[in-house]
Structure 1
Amino acid sequence: MSLSKLVLRSMKKNMKHYYLYFFALIFSVTLYFSFVTLQNNTEVWAAVQMSGTATAGFKAATYILYFIVLFFVLYANHLFMKRRSKEIGLYQLIGMTKGLIVRLLAVENILLFVGAVIIGMLAGFFSSRVFAMILLRVLEKEALVTMTFSTQALLQSMIVFTILLIIVLIQMAWMIHHVSLLSLFSAAKQADERVRRFSAFQMVIGFLGLILIVYGYYASTKLFDIESAGNLFINMIIILATTIGGTFLVFRFSVAFIMNTIRLKKKGHLSIKDVLALTPIMHRMKSNAKSLTLITVLTGVSLGVTTLSYIAYYSSEASAYSQVPGDFILLEEQGEEFLEKLEENNIAYDKIDYRLQGVTAAVGQLMSKKQQDNPLYTMEGTIYTIPLSDYQQSVPEAKLSGNEVILTNYGGYMAEMFPLEKDHDLVVSAGELEETFHVVDIHDKSVISGIVTAGGGGPIFVVTDDMFKSLTTQAALYPWHHQTTITLKSNEDIATAEKLYIQSNAGIITAVDDKGKTKQYTQSSYEGKRKDNIESLGLTIFTTAFLGLAFLMTTGSILYFKQMSEAEEERDSYTILRKIGFAEKDIMKGIYMKQAFNFGVPLVIGLLHSYFAVKSGWFLFGTELTAPLWIAMCCYIALYTIFAILSVGYYKKVVRQSL
């Protein structure tokens, strides 16, 4: 029989195995080709107008995606080879040399790759338009996206998957040449590691794994505290080591030990559900600890990165408002022409005037007592004050007397990293005047432009009108003295007002800085700042979401593939159970519990990892945590649930066919 006929017969016979591997290849090619096609879509990038940094980030994402695809395909190929181990062993028993077997499987893999690449590229070509529309939607851009075939994307993908094919062939040849004939007949039943009897030492190690994870979570909550800021990198390494190491120990010992304890308490009176759930969970969790740890860590990392990116994107409006707390900001009584144009165009608006006066103070004096040895405690800087009557235009209920002050405009990452406390005294100076303020309250409401507060989020003191007058009598030189906040009454007028704002150059301000030098500043409008945030963060959230989807599909598919493999291994056991009288529903009860553990435990631990990772530094990315975190987690839970349902469906088919 010729090699070509043998290949065709082998592929026809192994179709039930091939479709799993074929799907993995098609999925990988589709993901990669759609992403590369989008990268080379000139119409999209003409509308997006990416910066050099964004372009570099998008290219880096392409390499990350390729490594995801490489990991996915190599694992699928490894699983596929294990499922065909008996067949390969039979080939050797009938006299076929290892070299001939390698050529046989190589031809099969080449045919599979060619078919998968053709189908995957077609699917990727059509899906790239969908992804392009999603990207433009995220960036709030309008552009006509046509079906444009990129020869550059085609060439790049062909090169990439040719390299991947060579790696897969090397992996396959290595497995065949370095595995004994006897081991081939038991390879499908081999797990990551041999299972041994439980001991007291293993119990202690399992408990240690839980302690390591808990410590990693606790350390993550203290990562950005002022006291540990100097050892940030070392603390991050410790957190990663303890959580990843603890996760491995939990899978290797803790879960298996708990399941074994439950089984021993039953004193041999095991139901069919226990036989099909507790015992397989005990052995699978312990023996497949390495792969489950990898899946859990990948889930946590991808979810954490996606969530942080979404927090930044979700908070783009709040971040813009902290910089521009009004539709338009006019500084130093400039912008009269803009106001006249608004009235000429019958655009109704509300106006609040804030008088500003700078003082010098060290806000570290408002930190807690345990933080007062920090250098920030005595570090002085310029802080602006506004009179109470101006502040009451936006906060009517505010009240002060004497030397009482309200600290406002203080929020975001500044408030999280450097928390300040009220009911503290604070010594300030303005020229030759020195006063002691008593802070009665701290507000996070943004009222003053980010230009004035040097980036936004900086504190502003609200003082009584009498105190403000005494501060303005000082001859100290501070650059800002007046701000006018304009808020339009109708959102329909925003587009017209934006054009008038640009035409009148109301956002170009000339002022004297604290060193006496004349400097020009550019004050954006709120809508302009919001769009800048959307454009800078939209591409990031799209890229990370795409990579997160790839990670999620990879880890979910791997779990699904493992369950399909286990179902085939346990087919004989189901046949025996059916023959002695157990109904399908009795067997499925144990399988339901088993699948809940196989998919639920890695997902839950991965969600916990990502939650504490995000919780430790989310405030560096935005102002809102709860909604983005829940949305991202729900997406991951939904997709894992789909994989679990597919896995249960496959088990049900195996159980039905077992009799």
Structure 2
Amino acid sequence: MSLLDLSWRNIKRNFRLYTIYFISMLVGVVIYFTFSALMFNEDVVNAIQNKENYQMMIFLASILVFLFIVFFILYANSFFMKQRKKEFGMFLLYGMKERQVATMVFFETVFLSAISVTSGILIGGLLSKFFGAVLMNLMRYDNDISFAFPMEAIVLTILLFAFLIGIITIQSYFSVRRVQLVELFHAKEKMDKPFQFSFGFAILSIILIASSYYMITLARDTDLWKDHFNEILIATTVALIIGTYLFFRQFSGWILQKMSLRKNYFTGNNMLWISSLRFSIRGNAVNFTFNSLLSGIVIFTVGFIAVDYAIKSEVVKMEYPNHFAFSKQNDETQKQIEQIMNDSHPIIGHETITGIQTEKIPNRNRFFNYPEYYTEEFYLFPESQLNAIVDLRGVGKKVDLKDNEAIVLTRGVDQPTKYNESKHQITVLENYTFRIVEKIRYPLLSIPTNPNGDTGIQPSVLIIPDEVFHNLKEDYSLLSFEIYKIKDPKTSNDVSREIYDIVMKTKGAYYSAYIDMYSRDTESSSLILFSVAFLAVIALFALGSIIYFKQLREATEQREHYAILRKMGVRNKEIKRIIRKQLLFVFLPPLILGLLHSWYFLYYTALAVIKELPSLTMIIFSVMGLYVLTYLIFYVSSTSIYFRIINEKNT
């Protein structure tokens, strides 16, 4: 019999074990090809406004996806090889050489990889239409996406997974070399002895976790984080990791130890599942810690990116409220620009605002929290023109100023403030002094933009009474700006490019368009959310697989113990209850601690900061709910698999 025939027979004989490995490889191929296919799908690429930015981001994200898949598949292969140690030992005992066993494993890997890559590309191509539609929906585009199997994506997937097969072969070879013949004579590993737990370390775990949470709550209200950010971040992270480890190593073990001393310990099936957990808690502590921390990271990352995506469009709408705003052009050029707009995006409203540019005013700290974000010179506009823009936009509050009162307009980085004291004054144009009565977040002239997504410095704007402006304009030169409101501005990229090229022929001209930042921010945030969601799916699948592999190994080792229980008269119904309670302890504590970790991070980095959008809390709870649902599926399937394994007869 050749090694090739032997490899094929091994696959058929150990079908269940190979199925686990095959599914791991198949899922990896499906996820990677689906993701990379979107990079080359012509329908998707044509719909994207910033094509170069899209392809660069999707390429970098595909690398991260592949690295995650490599880690996951290598872990699955490591488990797969450990499960076959005795089989390899038998082959070596019968006279096969290590090189021959490694060659046999290589043939098996090639068989499984060829099937998984072929099937994965087929399934991934079918799924790419669905995920392409999801991406278009996230970007709020209406383009239809067709089924596609881009040749570039196929070649890239085959090459990368061929490289992965090479790594797997090397890993498998060293696994075969580590096999000792003496392992054949050990039916099972020695069971861990019950671990003695320390009440002091148990309390220390709670103190460390609570201290980490407390430090997170201080991030916004004290200067401690600002002055010692790196040190505090490292200390908080280390305390959280150590606290989580001690929680599972000591606190949970201490709880189980106390439960074993209660009077009802010998009632029902308590003794069976509690004693089993006490024996395995030492070996599971690292696994529980990893699951909890990974759960927290996944929930936090997806939740934070989802929040960022949700607020992005609102932020752009507030910070770039002008569909088009630019320096006044001559009559002929103005008609040309309006014709460009009306050809595809009819003009809904139009206002011309006229202001006066002041000299540079370097000391602006009294009015701006971040003066470096604003121009040193101010632009003075009359209150009537601000009120006209409020009518044009349909958003904002009209103002009514008297005498020497003035209002400073700011962007999102500055908080709105009302001033009741007369000391908040500003002198402009050499001898004109205004009393600042309010600072409001309402960009009259937003940050300058261009169709490539680059930005300039926010114009500093001062709103003054009409009478005062009327007197000033007689002595100073005026600057005029055209502000337009158009229909469906979210699809006006091409219009923006044409208008920008015309306006910027004049050196130093001002130009700003809502679509320039909307397309950049919406597309980038959508891509980040889409990529993170893919990574989260892989992480969830990897986490579920790790738990699954762990339970598979433990169930195989415990098979004889449950056989003894059956001989003692314990029925299958009772055994199922024992398994459910035992696995509930495996799933529930890491999940709860992971949810707590992520909630503290999300609340104090997002929800407590952005109070204008109460819907963000619902987004966070939705992400957590999906994660809990996924965990529940893992739990139910694991209990079913565990019960099936212990019912199998030893071979």
TM-score using structure 2 length: 0.78
Which amino acid letter does the alignment assign opposite residue 155 of structure 1? V
The equivalent position to 1:522 in structure 2, one of 499, 511, 514, is 511
Listed one character per residue, the Cα deviations across residues 507-564 of structure 1 (whole Å, up to 9, x for unaligned) are 977899xxxxx7212221x456434432333222222222222222222222223223
Query: Could you say which residue in structure 2 is the equivalent of 1:155?
Result: 155
CA contact (8 A) 1:82 1:188 kept: no
Q: CA deviation at 1:231?
A: 4.2
Q: Distance in 1 between matches of 2:478 and 2:285?
A: 62
Q: 1:638 aligns with which of 616, 622, 629?
A: 629
Q: Does 1:215 align with 2:215?
A: no
AA at the equivalent of 1:208: L
Aligned to 1:629: 620
Moved more, 582-591 or 328-337: 328-337
Whole-Å Cα distance in 1 between the matches of residues 382 and 222 of structure 2? Answer: 32
Secondary structure of residue in 1 paired with 2:286 = helix
Deviations 1:63-87 (A, max 9, x none): 2112211111111122223333343
Distance change >3 Å, CA 48–CA 503, structure 1 → 2? closer
Corresponding residue for residue 26 of structure 1 = 26
Q: Which one of the candidate residues 195, 198, 214 is aligned to 2:196?
A: 198
Residue in structure 1 matched with residue 46 of structure 2 by the alignment: 46
- Equivalent residues of 2:376, 2:460 under 8 A apart: no
1:303 pairs with 2:299: yes
Asked if the contact 2:409/2:463 (under 8 Å) is kept, the reply is yes
Q: Is structure 2 residue 575 aligned with structure 1 residue 577?
A: no
Structure 2 distance, partners of 1:423, 1:658, is 84
Name the counterpart of 2:639: 648
Q: Does 549-558 or 597-606 show the bigger shift?
A: 597-606
Q: Which amino acid aligns with 2:196?
A: F
After TM superposition, the structure 1 = structure 2 runs for residues 71-220 of structure 1, keeping only pairs within 5 Å, are: 71-92=71-92, 96=96, 98-141=98-141, 143=143, 145-183=145-183, 189=189, 197-200=195-198, 203-220=199-216
Q: Do 1:299 and 1:607's aligned partners in 2 also have CA atoms closer than 8 Å?
A: yes
How many Å apart are 1:382 and its aligned residue? 6.4
Residue 562 of structure 1, aligned match among 542, 545, 550: 550
Q: CA deviation at 1:24?
A: 0.8
Q: Does the 8 Å CA contact 2:380/2:461 hold for their aligned counterparts?
A: yes
CA contact (8 A) 2:327 2:510 kept: no
Q: Report the 3-state secondary structure (helix = DSSP H, G, I; strand = E; otherwise coil) of the residue aligned with 1:523.
A: strand
- Note the alpha carbon deviations across 1:247-282, whole angstroms, 9 max, x for none: 333333332223323333347435314522x34444
The match for 1:448 is 444
Taking the aligned partners of 1:343 and 1:100, their CA distance within structure 2 comes to 75
CA contact (8 A) 1:224 1:232 kept: no
Contact 2:326 2:510 (8 Å CA) reproduced: no
Alignment correspondent of 1:515: none
Over the residues paired in the alignment, what is the CA RMSD in angstroms? 4.9
- For residues 273-302 of structure 1, the C-alpha deviation after alignment (integer angstroms, 9 at most, x for no partner) is 4522x3444454531333333333333333
Does the 8 Å CA contact 2:31/2:124 hold for their aligned counterparts?
yes
Q: 1:568 to 1:334 in 2, by over 3 A?
A: farther
**Displacement after TM superposition at 1:31 (Å):** 1.6
Q: What is the CA–CA distance in structure 1 between the aligned matches of 2:188 and 2:474, rounded to whole Å?
A: 81
Distance in 1 between residues matched to 2:491 and 2:143, nearest whole Å: 24
Q: Return the alpha-carbon distance in structure 1 between the equivalents of residues 643 and 18 of structure 2.
A: 20
* Distance in structure 2 (CA, Å) of the matches to 1:347 and 1:158: 49
Q: CA contact under 8 A between 1:44 and 1:145: conserved in structure 2?
A: yes
Give the 3-state SS of the residue equivalent to 2:47 in structure 1. Answer: helix
Q: Any residues of structure 2 matched to 1:370-389 within 5 Å, and which? A: none
Q: Which moved more, 1:346-355 or 1:607-616?
A: 346-355
Amino acid at match of 1:317: S
Indicate which of 243, 246, 257 corresponds to 2:243: 246
Tell me how far apart the structure 2 counterparts of residues 138 and 345 of structure 1 sit (CA, whole Å): 24
Verify the 8 A CA contact 1:361 1:428 in the aligned structure 2. Answer: no
Residue 386 to residue 601, structure 1, CA distance change in 2 (3 Å) = farther
Report the CA distance between 1:318 and its aligned residue.
0.6
SS at match of 1:429: strand
CA distance in 1, matches of 2:493, 2:13: 69
The corresponding residue for 1:591 is 579
Q: Which runs of 5+ in 1 are unaligned?
A: 368-373, 513-517
- Once the two structures are superposed, what CA deviation does each residue of 1:391-431 show, in whole Å capped at 9, x if it has no partner? 696666978889988877564xx25xx79797777623122
Aligned twin of 2:452: none
Which residue matches 2:425?
A: 428
1:480, 1:511 within 8 Å by CA — same for their partners in 2? no
Partners in 2 of 1:500 and 1:52 — Cα distance?
A: 16
**8 Å contact from structure 1 (residues 430, 471) kept in 2:** no
User: Could you tell me which residue of structure 2 aligns to residue 318 of structure 1?
Assistant: 314
Is the CA contact 2:37–2:125 (under 8 Å) kept in the aligned structure 1?
yes
Q: Is the Cα–Cα contact under 8 Å of residues 377 and 460 in structure 2 kept in the other structure? A: no
Q: 1:288 to 1:199 in 2, by over 3 A?
A: closer
State the one-letter code of the partner of 2:286: K
2:61 maps to 1:70: no
| Aligned counterpart in structure 2 of residue 257 of structure 1, from 247, 254, 258 | 254
Q: CA deviation at 1:209?
A: 3.5
TM-score (norm 1): 0.77
Q: Distance in 1 between matches of 2:434 and 2:228?
A: 37
In the alignment, structure 1 residue 288 sits paired with structure 2 residue 284: yes
Q: For the residues of structure 1 that align with 2:77 and 2:63, how far apart are their CA atoms? A: 21
Q: Is the 8 A contact 2:194 2:279 kept in 1?
A: no
Report the CA distance shift for 1:509/1:113 in structure 2 as closer, same or farther (over 3 A). Answer: closer
Instruction: Assess if the C-alpha contact under 8 Å between 2:38 and 2:132 holds in 1.
Output: yes
| Offset of residue 23 of structure 1 | 0.9
**Sequence identity (%):** 23
Match of 1:271 in 2: 268
**Residues 345 and 639 from structure 1, CA distance in 2 versus in 1: closer, same or farther, beyond 3 angstroms?**
closer
1:463-514 CA deviation, whole Å, 9 max, x = no partner? Answer: 7x4xx755886799999977787667xxxx54799699869959977899xx
Aligned 1:344-383 pairs, distance under 5 A = none
How far the C-alpha of 1:26 sits from its partner, in A, is: 1.2
